[in-house]
Amino acid sequence: MSAGNAILGQVTALFAECFHIEAPATDADLLESGILDSLQFVELLVQLEERFGLHIKVDDIDLEDLRTLERIASLVAAQREVSAAGD
C-alpha cells in the first residue's frame, strides 16, 4: 500500500470514527453533497492535526483542499512534507 493510499485509508476511517459517517466515494464533494457542514469542517481540521501530528494554518488552505477525501489525503501528505522539510 502506497503512502497516499494509507493516508486516504486513515482519512476514511476518521470520518467513520469521528463523524459517524460512512465514508462517501473518495471523489464525492463533501460540501456540495451536504455530508459535512461548516462546524464539521472545523472539527475535521482539528482531527487531521491530532491524528497526523500536523499544524495546519487556516490561511494556508483552500476550501477546495477539503472538498473530497482524495483532496484531504493530498493535503495531509503535503503538510507532512512541509513538516518534514522544516525538521
> What CATH number does the domain located at 3-86 have?
1.10.1200.10
pTM for this model (two decimals):
0.86
**Where are the chain's structural domains?**
3-86
Neighbouring residues of 50: CB distance < 8 A, sequence distance ≥ 6: none
CA distance 68 to 38: 14
Read off the pLDDT of residues 23-77 as tens digits, 9 standing for 90 and up: 789 999 998 988 888 888 889 999 999 999 988 887 878 889 989 999 999 999 9
CA distance 26 to 74: 12
